[in-house]
Structure 1
Amino acid sequence: GQWFVVLITGCSSGIGLSLAVGLASDPEKNYKVYATLKTLNKKQRLLKSVTEFHRDTLDILQMDVTDRASIMSARDRVQEGRVDILVCNAGVGLMGPLEVQDSKVMKDVMEVNLFGTLQTLQAFLPDMKSRREGHILVTGSTGGLHGLPFNEVYCASKFAIEGLCESLAVLLQHFNIRVSIIECGPVNTDFMLNLQKTEIGDCALDALDSHTLSLYERFLLHCGTVFQNAAQDTEDIVKVYLDAIRSPEPAFRYFTSGTVPPLVKLKTTQPDGLEYIRAMGELIFPQDHEELQQ
């Protein structure tokens, strides 16, 4: 049997981990999965998921998306010499008032989310093009489709991913290569635990004006509520990836909630942008809204 060779970045937890195990568990053994992680000391969880059944369908490779040599060496360790399905999933978050963010941390977010994806694509595209086949899936975010206060740097990196994928998709249709972005909303994964977040009480906030600080406190409360009520389970999100991977004619954009979020719709139907900014403000800072209207 000829199988599909899949390489997935960012497999130490969350979506990458679940997707790797999900594909490797295919009863027909249709997929050979290369799960890559930045540091192999995090591979315990992956190995726990690997049973006798997965011995021949799952391999674990070290690959740091911010290091070109590391990407190339992972690529060269794919025994089949090709990757049919590339899943660019490695990503980091950053939350807090913009003025207090350290420039190195801001660069790191761009380095992983944007340049990491760019470099991964550079490494695997030539072979896909020469074989005239392939499917590229990228983990997007509703934060790449509309802005979120206190997530400026993260949203900037995810907006960039939209432009990258859209541009490539236009070109790659000429090579029979599909591109799909999976737009995730809030997810119950370690993404939130691993997220670099400015905590209330952090001395970095001492220099911040009191109004921004109180809005940030309210934003964090809002996030807590959203995660309790609206966060999706990793398994539900992985189903969307699996649908996209199995589809003979995959779409360019998938929303993990199954529908276009109302705020995304609002942004595209009211091009002057003010409706969206008001609506998002009302959602996150409801008390202030009356004052702003006066």
Structure 2
Amino acid sequence: MEQKVVLITGCSSGIGLSLAVHLASEPSKAYKVYATMRNLDKKQRLLESMRGLHKETLAILQMDVTDQHSILSARDSISEGSVDILVCNAGVGLMGPLETQSEDTMRGILDVNLLGTIRTIQTFLPDMKRRRTGRILVTGSMGGLQGLPFNEVYCASKFAVEGTCESLAILLQHFNVHVSLIECGPVNTDFLRNLTKTEVGDGSVEVDAHTRSLYETYLHHCQTVFQNAAQDTDDIVKVFLEVIRCPCPGLRYYTSSAMLPLSSLKLTAHDGSQYVRAMGKLVFSAGSTDSQN
């Protein structure tokens, strides 16, 4: 059976690394995986996970989704000449009071999460359309479906990814190309440790005392959520594999049902008030939302 060619972005750690290992380790050798990462100095973790096995099913390429030349170079390095399954997984986070975020920092988040995803799809889509076949899987986020306090720019980038993929899915029905979003909640990866985060103890950060207090409460909430409800990458990879193997995949797949009740409130009350109150209660009820509400 001819191998399916898979290209995955963001493979230095987390979901991308785990998915690359799972696909490249398939006993049937059904997949040839091109695992890409911005910095090849971080490839050792992936190589160690493979333990030197299945060299014919895995290749590691340098690819920076913020650099079109880098994406084109990676595309041209694929010996098979085509990609059957494209996984847009590279992403970065940003957390903190909105008024503390610099324009350069915000541009950086949008450049990776939104424009990086679009650039990657733009590069590989024409060949899929020409061949009338292909899969595009995008690592989504519950932060792309519902607003989260102190994540305004991150959510903006992920909301935009949702719109991009939904719009493409409508068109690509005519080309037998399937677009699927894998909607993740908290995951035990390096994402939380690596995200750009405003430190509340930083005296250079000019923010009012009440916002600072609410931010501290939110950080405590995040820590609790990740301790109690974060999924392992293997759980996320199972959903990716389900989508890859599905003959006719849908647009959205949820790795956990924990946040769906809150999302449904957005449809129940069209003015958004129920969701805003419910999320506020969930995040801040354990903290000190005092009379300054």
- Is the TM-score greater than 0.5? yes
1:67 and 2:67 aligned: yes
How far does residue 51 in structure 1 lie from its aligned partner after superposition? 3.0
Residues 234 and 221 of structure 1: CA distance in aligned 2, closer, same or farther (over 3 Å):
same
Tell me which residue corresponds to 2:266. Answer: 267
Structure 2 contact 71–120 (Cα < 8 Å) conserved: yes
How far does residue 50 in structure 1 lie from its aligned partner after superposition? 2.3
1: CA distance between counterparts of 2:53 and 2:73? 27
1: CA distance between counterparts of 2:55 and 2:204? 48
Over the aligned positions, Cα root-mean-square deviation in angstroms equals 1.4
Within 5 Å, give how 1:177-192 maps onto structure 2.
Answer: 177-192=177-192
Deviations 1:106-131 (A, max 9, x none): 10000000000110011000000000
Letter in 2 for 1:176: N
Runs of 4+ in 1 over 4 A off after TM superposition: 287-293
Deviations 1:168-199 (A, max 9, x none): 00000000000000000001100011111112
Letter in 1 for 2:127: D
3-state SS, counterpart of residue 188 of structure 1: coil
Tell me which residue corresponds to 1:105. Answer: 105
1:121 and 2:121 aligned: yes
Structure 1 contact 136–178 (Cα < 8 Å) conserved: yes
Letter in 2 for 1:4: K
Structure 1 contact 134–176 (Cα < 8 Å) conserved: yes
Structure 1 contact 282–289 (Cα < 8 Å) conserved: no
Tell me which residue corresponds to 1:279. Answer: 278
1: CA distance between counterparts of 2:3 and 2:238? 20
Residues 121 and 171 of structure 1: CA distance in aligned 2, closer, same or farther (over 3 Å):
same
Tell me which residue corresponds to 1:217. Answer: 216
Letter in 2 for 1:141: S
Structure 1 contact 281–289 (Cα < 8 Å) conserved: no
2: CA distance between counterparts of 1:214 and 1:289? 9
Question: TM-score normalised to the size of structure 1?
Answer: 0.96
Within 5 Å, give how 1:237-256 maps onto structure 2.
Answer: 237-256=236-255
Within 5 Å, give how 1:225-240 maps onto structure 2.
Answer: 225-240=224-239
How far does residue 148 in structure 1 lie from its aligned partner after superposition? 0.3
2: CA distance between counterparts of 1:97 and 1:264? 23
Structure 2 contact 214–288 (Cα < 8 Å) conserved: no
2: CA distance between counterparts of 1:183 and 1:204? 36
Aligned length: 292
Letter in 1 for 2:8: I
2: CA distance between counterparts of 1:37 and 1:186? 22
Deviations 1:85-104 (A, max 9, x none): 00000000000001111211
* Identity rate, percent: 66
Letter in 2 for 1:274: S
How far does residue 54 in structure 1 lie from its aligned partner after superposition? 1.7
How far does residue 262 in structure 1 lie from its aligned partner after superposition? 1.0
3-state SS, counterpart of residue 12 of structure 2: coil
3-state SS, counterpart of residue 59 of structure 1: strand
2: CA distance between counterparts of 1:33 and 1:202? 43
Letter in 1 for 2:203: C
2: CA distance between counterparts of 1:32 and 1:25? 10
Structure 1 contact 100–204 (Cα < 8 Å) conserved: no
Within 5 Å, give how 1:26-37 maps onto structure 2.
Answer: 26-37=26-37
Letter in 2 for 1:89: N
Tell me which residue corresponds to 2:148. Answer: 148
